[in-house]
A = this chain, B = another copy of it.
C-alpha cells in the first residue's frame, strides 16, 4: 500500500481476490442517459432466475492467507465487489430510469441498485457452500467473471439485515415481473 491510500483525493482499494463465474457479461449495461437493456426483457428475467442457482467461486489471493479462517461456519456471507466492466464516466450519473425502463419514473442513483454509481462498490449476500483453502464456493452471486473482490464479511442479521423492510411500488412491480416467470 502507498502513502496515498488515505490522501485527500480519496481512499484506495486494493482487490483481495477475483470472482470466477460462468456469467461473462453483466445483465444490464449502463449508458450516459441511464441503464440500457442490452437484451430483451425475457432474456433478463431468465438470467435473473439462473443466477439464483448459479455457483461461483471467490478466489482470495495467497497474500491474504489465514484471513478466511472460520468463515465456513457462517451460512451466508456478504461479498463486496467492483463492477470492473463499468466505464469510469458512468460513475457521474445522478438519475436513471430503473432498469432503463422509460415506463418507470426517473430516480436518484442512490434509490436504485444500479452499478453505475459514484463509488461502485456492489454488495451481494450469498449462500456460502464451501471453503477450500483460499477459495469460497457461493450460490447466487450476480458478479461477472473476473470481478475484483473488495471485501468478504459474514452476514450478521443485527448489523446487515432487517425485519420487514418496505420498498416503493416501482420496485415491487419489477420484482413481481421477475418472479412471474417461475410461478
Question: Chain B nearest CB: distance from A147 CB in Å?
Answer: 12
A108 touches B11 (CB 8 A): no
- How many chain copies does the complex carry? 2
- Chain B residue numbers with a CB within 8 Å of A75 are 162, 164-167
Contact A155 B162 (CB under 8 A): yes
CB < 8 Å: which of B78, B92, B168 contacts A123?
Answer: B78
Nearest to A65 among chain B residues (CB) is B94
B12 A9 Cβ-Cβ under 8 A: yes
* Interface pair B154/A161, CB less than 8 Å apart: no
Contact mask A131-156 → B, CB, 8 Å, 1/0?
A: 00000000000100000101111111
Interface size, A (range):
35 or more
Stretch with Cβ within 8 A of B (4 or more), from A18-26, A33-41, A111-119? A111-119
Asked if A43 is at the interface of the complex by the 8 Å CB criterion, the answer is no
Is there an interface contact between A123 and B71, defined as CB atoms closer than 8 Å? no
Of all chain B residues, the one with the shortest Cβ separation from A178 is B158
Contact, CB under 8 Å: A151 / B118? yes
A113 and B70 contact, CB distance less than 8 A: no
Decide: B15 and A13 in contact? CB cutoff 8 A: no
In contact, A161 and B165 (Cβ under 8 angstroms): yes
Q: How far is the CA of A106 from the CA of B71 in the complex (A)?
A: 12
A168 to B72 CA separation, bound complex (whole angstroms): 9
What separation, in Å, do the CA atoms of A167 and B118 have in the docked complex?
A: 33
